[in-house]
Amino acid sequence: MKSLFLIAVVAVAVSGCATTKSWSATGGSRADATVRLSYTYGPFEQPRASEQQALNLAATRCAAWGYKGAEAFGGAEQKCTAPGGMGGCNQFEVTKEFQCTGTGSGNPNAGQN
């Protein structure tokens, strides 16, 4: 009975835990009207990130540059940022790029009183 409990505990630990991740701005270019968002996670995490939160954050960044909104370029890119031993990875980074939409102005507050 004791070994069955131990096997169950190990199985749960190895399967990973679902964790909610928040996107953060990690780059972009006002001149190119692009915003790059990312989050990181560990090897035993099952990350869940809100696409709506990413779009809202990108749109807010674009609005600060005078654009009307943002659209995702496509899928997200995942890469290992902290290689581990024996070919594993200790940390992954997921990055997604957004294109600012609408006409950008030199003054983000143009037209506001």
The alpha carbon torsion through 49, 54, 55, 57 (nearest 10 deg) reads: 150
Average pLDDT over the chain, rounded to an integer: 85
Percent of the chain with pLDDT over 70: 77
d(Cα 26, Cα 89) in Å, to the nearest integer? 21
Higher pLDDT, 89 or 17: 89
The DSSP bridge pattern shows strands 45-49 and 17-21 to be: parallel
- For the segment 52-104, what is each residue's pLDDT rounded down to a tens digit? 999 999 999 999 999 999 999 989 999 999 998 888 999 999 999 999 999 86
Q: Is the pLDDT of residue 112 over 50?
A: no
Strand partners, 37: 25, 96
Q: Residues 69, 62: contact at Cβ < 8 Å? A: yes
Q: What is the rounded average pLDDT of the residues 3-22?
A: 62
pLDDT of residue 8: 43
pLDDT at 82: 95
